[in-house]
Chains A and B, each alone.
Chain A
Amino acid sequence: MKPFTYERPESAADAVRAVATKPGAKFIAGGTNLLDLMKLEVETPTHLVDVNRLPLGEVADTSDGGLRIGALVRNSDLAAHPRVRRDYGVLSRALLAGASGQLRNKATTAGNLLQRTRCYYFYDVTKPCNKRDPGSGCSAIGGFNRIHAILGGSDDCIATHPSDMAVAMRALDARVETIRPDGSAETVPLAEFYRLPGSTPSEENALRPGQMIVAVTLPPPPAGVQIYRKVRDRASYAFALVSVAAIVQTVGGRMRSARLAFGGVAPKPWRVPAAEVVLDGAPAGTPAFGAAADAALQGGRGCGHNDFKLPLLKRTLTAVLATATRTT
C-alpha cells in the first residue's frame, strides 16, 4: 500500500474542501472496497478524508411519504430498518443478497453506490485496463469475460457495476443528494448518476472532484409486489451473474406499472422503459414475460464466455414475473 496522510473532519463542508483542495485525496467511509483496492495499488490515494464521524447516518421519513437515507447508513442497518422492510422490500432483499454480514456492518449507502467493478483485469495491475489506466487497452475483450457486461459496454470496457443495492434503488427511482466543494447542493436522479464507459471508462459517475454524496432519497413506496432475485455461482456471498429487481402490480390478471432493473449485466444498474411498457396492461403469462425480456435485451450481445447471460436474464426475468403476478 502506498503511504498516505489521514484526517477526520467534523463537518461535511470541511470534508469536501479537503478532498477538493488536496491532489490525490479521497473520501473513505466503510473502506471495504477502497482498502481492498489500495492493498493491490489499484487505488493510490495520497490523502484520506475519513467521513465516518459526519452526521450522515440517519434514515428519516420525508414529507411526501418517501424515505431519506443518510450516506453513512450501514448496509446492514438499512436492510433491517422497519420502513425498508415494510415498504421497500426489494431494497432490503437486494442489500441482504450482497456481501457478508461482516461487510454489510461496515459498508455504507454512498460507498455501495461508488464501489468499483470486480472485473479481474481491473484488479490485476499487471494487465492493461482502460478503467484503471486509460488508453492501455481492455484485457476482458478477447480475454476471459464470463462475468462481464452483455449490455451497455463499449469497445474500450465491458466491466459490470457490482452493486445489488443500486439495482433495487434504480427500480425505486432513487435520487442521489450531493454537496459540491463550494457547499452548494446538487441532486442527481440515480438514472443519470452512472455513465456508460464509451471511450472514457475511468469516468464512472456524475460526481466532480470533491463532490460528496450526503443522502439517497426514495419516493413514496410504489404499489405492487417487490422482488429481488440474484443468480450467482454459489448460494451466498458472491457477486451477481444476473439479478432482477421487479416491482409489479397485477389487477384482474393484467400487469400494471411494472418496473424492472437488472444487475450483473451492464456497467450500471440497467433499466429499459420499453420492457416495462410491454408489460403495461398485458395479461400475466409467458408471452408477455418473454416480450419484456426481449425488449430488455435490445442491443445486448455476449463476448464469448458471457454469452450465457443472455438466456439467463430472460429466464430469470420470466421466473420473477411469474412469481410477482401469481395470485395469492
Chain B
Amino acid sequence: MTSDDRPLFPLTRRQALEAGAALAILGRAGPAMARDVPVAGTAPPESGAPAMTVRLTVNGVAEDLTLDTRTTLLDALREHIGLTGSKKGCDHGQCGACTVLLNGRRINSCLTLAVMHDGDSITTIEGLAKGDALHPMQAAFIHRDGFQCGYCTPGQICSAVGMLAEQAAGWPSLVTENLTTRPGLTDVEIRERMSGNICRCSAYPNIVAAIRDASRETL
C-alpha cells in the first residue's frame, strides 16, 4: 500500500481470495497478512464524491482509512479493512447479521457511517477469540450447534456478548416483570433481548441454549 492507503495493484475480490488461499498453502497467511491483501472496495472514492480520513481501532488495531463519506461502518470493515466476518444481510438494520461491538456496545454496523466513528473502538467477530482460545460464546455456539448455514452467526455471537453485558449492568427488557429489580436471565429474557438477530434457518432453540450456557461462564 502507498502512504495514502491506496492499493498499488487493485485486485478483484476473487483475485484477492485466491491470493489469500495461495498464501495459506504456503503457510504464510495469518490475520495480519490477510489485512494487507487489497480487496474490492479499497479503491479510492469515486471521483468527485466527498471523501474523509478516519481512524478506527478495530480489534485493537488502529486503521487509518480514506473513505467516501457514504461508507457505512459495515462496508469499511468488510471492503476496506478486509474483515468479512461481519455480514451484510438486509443492510437496513432489520436482520442483525452486521452486529458489532462499538466501544463495547452492540450496534448494527450497516446503519452508521464510518466517518462518524473517528477515534472509536470496534470489536468484530474476528476480535473475540484470544489467539486460538475461542471466546466462551463462540465455544458455546459450537457445543450447542447454534446454527445451520452460519450466515447470521457472527452477528448472533457479537449481539449475545453485548446483550450479556447489558444484562449484567442490570438493564431491563420488555419482558422484565419488575422494572426496579435486577432482571434474571430466563429463556424468555434471552429471546426478547436477542430479537434483533434473525436466523432464517431458525436455529433459535440452540442459539438460546448456547447463550444460556455462555452466561454461566466468566465472559
Partner of B93, one of A32, A93, A235: A32
With A and B bound together, what is the CA distance between A66 and B180 in angstroms? 18
With A and B bound together, what is the CA distance between A113 and B11 in angstroms? 45
20 additional A-B pairs beyond A36-B93, A80-B166, A106-B111, beta carbons within 8 Å, are A1-B70, A3-B48, A5-B69, A6-B69, A8-B116, A8-B118, A28-B116, A35-B72, A36-B111, A76-B166, A76-B171, A79-B172, A86-B179, A93-B174, A96-B174, A99-B196, A101-B159, A102-B96, A103-B93, A236-B195
Residue of chain A at shortest CB distance from B100: A102
With A and B bound together, what is the CA distance between A236 and B190 in angstroms? 12
Report whether A80 and B113 are in contact in the complex, using a CB–CB cutoff of 8 Å.
no
With A and B bound together, what is the CA distance between A45 and B170 in angstroms? 39
Near B by CB (< 8 A), chain A positions 211-266 give 235-237
Report whether A106 and B196 are in contact in the complex, using a CB–CB cutoff of 8 Å.
no
Decide yes or no whether B163 CB sits under 8 A from chain A: yes
Decide yes or no whether A14 CB sits under 8 A from chain B: no
Query: A100 and B171 in contact (CB under 8 A), knowing A5-B69, A31-B112, A105-B107?
Result: no
Q: Could you say which residues of chain B place their CB within 8 Å of the CB of A50? A: 115-116
Residue of chain B at shortest CB distance from A89: B179
Query: A6 and B115 in contact (CB under 8 A), knowing A97-B174, A102-B96, A102-B159?
Result: yes
Q: Could you say which residues of chain A place their CB within 8 Å of the CB of B112? A: 30-32, 35, 106
Q: Could you say which residues of chain A place their CB within 8 Å of the CB of B57? A: none
Decide yes or no whether A144 CB sits under 8 A from chain B: no
With A and B bound together, what is the CA distance between A39 and B74 in angstroms? 14
The tally of residues in A whose CB lies under 8 Å from a CB in B reads 36
Chain B contact-residue range equals 35 or more
Q: How distant is A154 from chain B, measured CB to nearest CB, in Å? A: 29
Report whether B172 and A80 are in contact in the complex, using a CB–CB cutoff of 8 Å.
yes
With A and B bound together, what is the CA distance between A86 and B111 in angstroms? 32
Report whether B174 and A85 are in contact in the complex, using a CB–CB cutoff of 8 Å.
no
Q: Could you say which residues of chain A place their CB within 8 Å of the CB of B170? A: 80
| From B72, B102, B196, residue with most partner A Cβ within 10 Å | B196
A-B contact pairs, 12 of them (CB 8 A): A4-B50, A31-B113, A32-B108, A79-B172, A92-B172, A92-B179, A96-B172, A97-B174, A100-B195, A101-B194, A101-B195, A105-B106
Partner of B106, one of A5, A6, A101, A237: A101
With A and B bound together, what is the CA distance between A4 and B115 in angstroms? 12
Report whether A4 and B179 are in contact in the complex, using a CB–CB cutoff of 8 Å.
no
Residue of chain A at shortest CB distance from B181: A85
Near B by CB (< 8 A), chain A positions 79-136 give 79-80, 85-86, 89, 92-93, 96-97, 99-103, 105-106
Query: A4 and B92 in contact (CB under 8 A), knowing A31-B116, A85-B180?
Result: no
Decide yes or no whether B169 CB sits under 8 A from chain A: yes
With A and B bound together, what is the CA distance between A39 and B90 in angstroms? 12
Q: Could you say which residues of chain A place their CB within 8 Å of the CB of B174? A: 93, 96-97, 236
Residue of chain B at shortest CB distance from A236: B195
With A and B bound together, what is the CA distance between A49 and B180 in angstroms? 37
A-B pair number, CB within 8 angstroms: 113
Partner of A102, one of B48, B192, B196: B196
Decide yes or no whether A52 CB sits under 8 A from chain B: yes
Q: How distant is B204 from chain A, measured CB to nearest CB, in Å? A: 12
Q: Could you say which residues of chain B place their CB within 8 Å of the CB of A85? A: 172, 179-180
Report whether B111 and A32 are in contact in the complex, using a CB–CB cutoff of 8 Å.
yes
Report whether B171 and A80 are in contact in the complex, using a CB–CB cutoff of 8 Å.
yes
Q: Could you say which residues of chain A place their CB within 8 Å of the CB of B191? A: 236
Question: Please, what's the 1-or-0 string for B43-65, where 1 marks a CB less than 8 Å from any CB in chain A?
Answer: 00000111010000000000000
Partner of A35, one of B68, B113, B179: B113
Residue of chain B at shortest CB distance from A99: B196
Q: How distant is B149 from chain A, measured CB to nearest CB, in Å? A: 21
Q: Could you say which residues of chain B place their CB within 8 Å of the CB of A76? A: 105, 166, 171
With A and B bound together, what is the CA distance between A60 and B49 in angstroms? 42
Query: A101 and B162 in contact (CB under 8 A), knowing A5-B50, A6-B69, A35-B72?
Result: yes
Report whether A96 and B96 are in contact in the complex, using a CB–CB cutoff of 8 Å.
no
Residue of chain A at shortest CB distance from B173: A96
Decide yes or no whether B91 CB sits under 8 A from chain A: yes
Q: How distant is B134 from chain A, measured CB to nearest CB, in Å? A: 23
Question: Please, what's the 1-or-0 string for A41-57, where 1 marks a CB less than 8 Å from any CB in chain B?
Answer: 00000001010100000
With A and B bound together, what is the CA distance between A137 and B68 in angstroms? 35
Report whether A39 and B91 are in contact in the complex, using a CB–CB cutoff of 8 Å.
yes
With A and B bound together, what is the CA distance between A236 and B173 in angstroms? 11
Q: Could you say which residues of chain A place their CB within 8 Å of the CB of B138? A: none
